[in-house]
Amino acid sequence: MRIINTNVKDYLFYGGISREEYYSVRERIWDRNRNILKVTSLASAGMALFFLIFNAFTETGLLLPYAVLLFGSLLVTLALRLTGNRYRRISPALCYVQMLLVCVYATILSTQPARFATPATSVIVFIALMPMSIDDRPIRMYAFMLGESAGYLLVSRFAKSPEAFGLDAINIATFCLIGMVFYAVVCVRNVREIWQSVRMEKIQSDLINSLAEVVEERDENTGDHIQRTVGHVKTIIAQIKKTDPYRISDEFSKNVVLAAPMHDIGKIKIPDHILNKPGRLTPEEFEIMKLHTVYGGDIVARTMGGIEEKDYVEVARNIALYHHERFDGTGYPKGLKGTEIPLEARIMAIADVYDALVSDRVYKKAFSKETAKQILREGSGTQFDPLLAGLFLETL
């Protein structure tokens, strides 16, 4: 497979990867930009507030540019807070608004009468290098950089002396050229890293699903159980993010969804005559069946411990090991209680049990959706985390 195509068209429009590859990671790119913008908008507001107060006390006369940057950056920060992760399409607009604010601030600052001369070069550095924090299509970023530079020079032409304008033109041309070259290197590197990361996640997900399907094929009880439980896990996580009771991160959410297919991986070590028994298990057989959680935790730790990220391995191990724990402490294998049970295992427990209730098994017929909902309600606070159970029931 081609790793990266660096022809001119792919570079200018898609950051050095193909069109299909770019659109497969575009959301991830702008998630990264959004996180950067949260920092830069707050930093800009903090800097503007400091210099606004400083200039107010020293009476230098430099108030307007800092006021513009302060209130503009606060509005961007507020918009980021209000939109959260629900309106990701607004992220590109907010990024460009913040960069435009810096451009306006720099332009006003360089033309303000004050008790000291404002160094034009430092202002131009602001204009040329601000886009370095954002990964976007280079052709759009270059157009923005040229546009803001042209706007700055237009103001400089009418607000400054010919000598000052000439110096500005030389400086801004130099810094724009440097900025474009620097952006070419940074953007290609970042976009490539994001694409390769997503590609590796896809390979990892395929391997995990293949391994989980091996277990599913042995277990005659669980046709398509993996895909359905992953869907339920996604539903619960979406509900958690909507109400934000546990303040989970995007990375945690991704790890839980990716690890969910591994929850019954330990069943690969359970004998067929127990795994596929059509009737009720004897107490001795049930004790053996319960060991699939311990086996699963060990398999995840041994097979992934040295090759996967630590946080992901921990989530996957917790799901495999603890998804049969009960909220009241009567579950297995360790009898954990309440929030002693890792959050990812509490999520998995609800998804796993609900799918088992509404599915046909060799030892029972599927319950109706209403009956399954009633069982979840009755188990809320005893078998299941009541908050998570309530969130999931809202979707059924």
Maximum Cα–Cα distance across the chain = 95
What pLDDT score does 206 carry? Answer: 74
Task: Give the chain's radius of gyration (CA, Å).
Answer: 28
Residues sharing a CB contact under 8 Å with residue 258, sequence separation 6 or more, in sequence order: 201, 204, 205, 208, 312, 316
Q: What is the DSSP letter of 26?
A: H
> 191 and 15 in contact (C-beta within 8 Å)?
yes
Asked if omega into 245 is within 30° of 0 (cis), the reply is no
For residue 68, what are its two tokens? Answer: 């513009």
How far is Cα of residue 348 from the mean position of the Cα atoms in its chain? Answer: 20
User: Cβ contacts of residue 11 below 8 Å, gap of 6+?
Assistant: 138, 184, 188
Q: What contacts 273, CB < 8 A, 6 or more positions away?
A: none
Kindly list the domain boundaries of the chain, sorted by start residue. Answer: 8-195, 219-393
CA distance 97 to 76: 8
β-partners of residue 380 are 384
Per-residue pLDDT, 61? 67
Interior angle at CA 250, CA 264 and CA 393, nearest 5: 60
The whole-angstrom separation of Cα 60 and Cα 66 is 12
At residue 62, what is the residue type?
L
pTM given for the model: 0.61
Q: What is the pLDDT of residue 2?
A: 44
Measured distance CA(358)–CA(367) in Å, rounded: 5
Q: Give the CA-trace dihedral at 308, 311, 313, 318, to 10 degrees.
A: -170
Give pLDDT, residue 293: 95
> What do you get for the CA distance between the two ends of the chain, in Å?
42
Residues 109 and 120: beta-carbon distance below 8 Å: no
The position carrying tokens 């990716």 is 258
The pLDDT value recorded for residue 379 is 95
Could you tell me if 256 and 347 are in contact, meaning their C-beta atoms sit under 8 angstroms apart? yes
Name every residue whose Cβ is closer than 8 Å to that of residue 54 and which is 6 or more positions away in sequence. none
Residue 281 CB neighbours (<10 A): 15
Q: Are 37 and 94 in contact (CB under 8 A)?
A: yes
Residues 6+ apart with CB under 8 A from 335: 325, 329
Structure tokens at 285: 């057989």
Domain 219-393 homologous superfamily, CATH: Hypothetical protein af1432 (1.10.3210.10)
Q: Residue-wise pLDDT tens for the chain (396 aa)?
A: 444 445 777 777 777 788 888 888 888 888 777 887 888 788 888 888 888 888 788 776 678 888 888 888 899 888 888 876 666 677 778 877 877 777 777 777 767 665 444 445 455 555 555 555 666 677 877 887 788 778 878 887 887 778 878 877 887 777 777 777 777 777 777 888 888 878 877 777 677 767 777 766 666 555 578 889 999 999 999 999 888 778 888 889 989 998 998 898 898 889 988 888 888 889 999 999 999 999 999 988 887 776 667 888 899 999 999 999 999 999 999 999 999 999 999 999 999 999 989 987 766 788 999 999 999 999 999 999 999 999 999 998
